[in-house]
Amino acid sequence: DQQVKQNSPSLSVQEGRISILNCDYTNSMFDYFLWYKKYPAEGPTFLISISSIKDKNEDGRFTVFLNKSAKHLSLHIVPSQPGDSAVYFCAALDGGATNKLIFGTGTLLAVQP
Amino acid sequence: GAGVSQSPSNKVTEKGKDVELRCDPISGHTALYWYRQSLGQGLEFLIYFQGNSAPDKSGLPSDRFSAERTGGSVSTLTIQRTQQEDSAVYLCASSVQGGDGYTFGSGTRLTVV
């Protein structure tokens, strides 16, 4: 049972435009969410996070929005750059004893020059 | 070292053979996680080590999988009698005390033929 879902396996946008990556979750107990970026043959790297006490967190070109009632979050990248082309994973922190992250299946973003 | 180091980077093995995958975490990171990414799947949690506590093995898919962490540092993931469905990228991550702030290694791509 997938607790974190990324329903779009891929997304293609033009350089300079906005990229919007979406993520849904099923467990209302999740209260901390993260986005990771992964290039081929590399491990995922942390991008941005958001706590459930907020509905928006911004870091440069990257903004994450959280809609708790809809159990939905999104990552906005604006303006998109070719170097942003990568797989983006949404993750939720399972706040039990393990504090492990539960990941979605990822969205492959391709930014066309 | 500066980052999480995993070896080998690639491993091709015959079905039925045993394999060992190694992870060298960032010095001082007490939490260590193993995840795997199968084709078209998200990152699947396997096992978690935190300091001297008993590991959380709840994600291990079968008793053919085991992991050790010696001296609170290096970890080895062992897969016995490998099967084709074990083919995946195995990722190790460490953090100061779990939760967010994971640093991932580049992974080991395991192919069982």
Residue B104: partners with Cβ closer than 8 Å, 6 or more residues away: A43, A44, A45, B4, B91, B92, B93
Of B111, B108, B107, B103, nearest to B32 by C-alpha is B103
Please state the rounded mean pLDDT for residues A86-92: 96
| Disruptive mutation site among A5, A99, A108 for chain B (greatest number of B CBs within 10 Å) | A99
CATH code, B84? 2.60.40.10
Check residue B1 and give its pLDDT: 53
pLDDT digits (tens, 9 = 90+) for A28-84: 999 899 999 999 889 999 999 999 999 999 999 999 999 999 999 999 999 999 999
pLDDT value at A101 more than 60: yes
To the nearest whole Å, the CA of B10 is away from the closest chain A CA by: 10
Residue of B nearest to A32 (CA): B100
User: Helix, strand, coil proportions of chain B in percent (round to 5)?
Assistant: 5, 50, 45
Average pLDDT over residues A101-108: 93
Number of domains in chain B: 1
- The yes-or-no verdict on residue A97 having pLDDT over 80 is no
Position B113 scores a pLDDT of 96
Q: How confident is the model at residue B20 (pLDDT cuts 50, 70, 90)?
A: very high
pLDDT of residue B100: 64
pLDDT digits (tens, 9 = 90+) for B74-106: 999 999 999 999 999 999 999 886 666 789 999
Inter-chain CB proximity A46 and B106 less than 8 Å = no
- What's the CATH code of the domain at A42? 2.60.40.10
Exposed / middle / buried, residue B80 (Cβ in 10 Å: 0-12, 13-18, 19+) = middle
Q: What is the pLDDT of residues B37-72, one digit of tens each?
A: 998 788 999 999 988 888 999 999 999 999 999 887
State the pLDDT at residue B2. Answer: 75
A44 min Cα distance to partner chain B (Å): 6
The percent of chain A in helix, strand and coil, each rounded to the nearest 5, is: 5, 55, 45
From A43's Cα to the closest Cα of chain B, the distance in A is 4
Q: Which residues of A touch B (CB under 8 A)?
A: 2, 4, 6, 9, 32, 34, 41-46, 49, 89, 91, 93, 97-106
Residue B12: give the domain boundaries.
5-112
Domain containing A108 equals 4-112
Does B40 sit within 8 Å of A34, measured CB to CB?
no
B106 lies within 8 A of chain A by CB: yes
Tally of domains in chain A:
1
Task: Quote the tokens at residue B56.
Answer: 């959380």
**What CA–CA distance (Å, rounded) separates B110 from B113?**
10
Strands B108-112 and B88-95: antiparallel
| Nearest CA-CA distance, residue A19 and chain B, Å | 20
